Amino acid sequence: MAISSRILSFLACISAVLPAPTFAETVTVGGVGSLSPLVKKLAEAYGQKNPGVDIVVVHPPLGTRGGIRALASGKIDLLLSGRELKPDEAAQSTPWVQTPLVLATNRGKTSGFTRAQLADVYAWRKNTWDDKNPIRLVLRGEQETETRDLRAMSPEIDAAVASALKRGDLPIAENDLDALDTLTRVPGSFGTTSLGLVTASDSKLVVVPIDGMKPSIKVVEDGSYRWLRRYHLGMAKAPRPATTAFYTWLKSPPAIDAARKLDYLPIKP
């Protein structure tokens, strides 16, 4: 049935007063999962002043190696890397933020461990908390940054972690977010994560003091705490303007100030 001229006129009037549809430009971010909660919160702040840009953080996380491959193939626009990039891995890269590597538990407040006691925990010479409830270790893979940094704390811890990795009966988290989830779920859990991830994800995990020192950005700034997770940003060779703008904003004072409130500090040259 033909549409009458009156209906066509009515539709034309409606079209004239309706706003033209707008389409947000998407910037896809991927890499290490320990930065996902931080970047999501920063993206919310960025989006409030840049409503035409949609920041998408890839989930599940790709990890540094997966992120590098995704960046090279054009599947993501920005890379969140757990290490410094090689010259052939991205046209532009920069050190970005750092946060303390920590050991955490879901038990509640604890007095913590010395490094000698940490070696005993991972070697299974000490397998209960002070109240005799079992310590349940949560490991990361042998090649993961957290594992390498933990092993670097002392030769005794290095040997103990190597022994724990060979046991075969302990949970090994696949990525940072999986580790956070496992530490949250497993009663009496104990394992590595990062302070910034705990804070930015609003986790209830308790950070365990090491050698009598509770990790914080304050003790990082005064040089007392040396065990850190450092992160870099990477961007493709021919980025779109929206990608460049977000990359630049992530390094700006407003973004760095927001990150600091979530226990991340900028990496200084």
Tens digits of residue pLDDT in 135-177: 999 999 999 999 999 999 999 999 999 999 999 999 999 999 9
- The CATH classification number of 99-221 equals 3.40.190.10
pLDDT of residue 16: 45
pLDDT of residue 12: 47
Q: Between helices 253-260 and 241-250, what is the axis angle to 10°?
A: 50
Nearest to 89 by CA among 250, 229, 235, 231: 235
Do the two domains 24-97+230-266 and 99-221 of this chain adopt the same fold? yes
The domains of the chain are located at 24-97+230-266, 99-221
Radius of gyration of the chain (CA): 23
Neighbours of 173 (CB within 10 A): 22
Say if residue 10's pLDDT is above 50.
no
> CATH topology for 24-97+230-266?
D-Maltodextrin-Binding Protein; domain 2 (3.40.190)
- Round the average pLDDT of the chain to a whole number and report it: 91
Q: Between helices 241-250 and 36-49, what is the axis angle to 10°?
A: 110
- Which pLDDT tens digit goes with each residue over 94-138? 999 999 999 999 997 788 999 999 999 999 999 999 889 999 999
Q: Percentage of the chain with pLDDT > 90?
A: 83
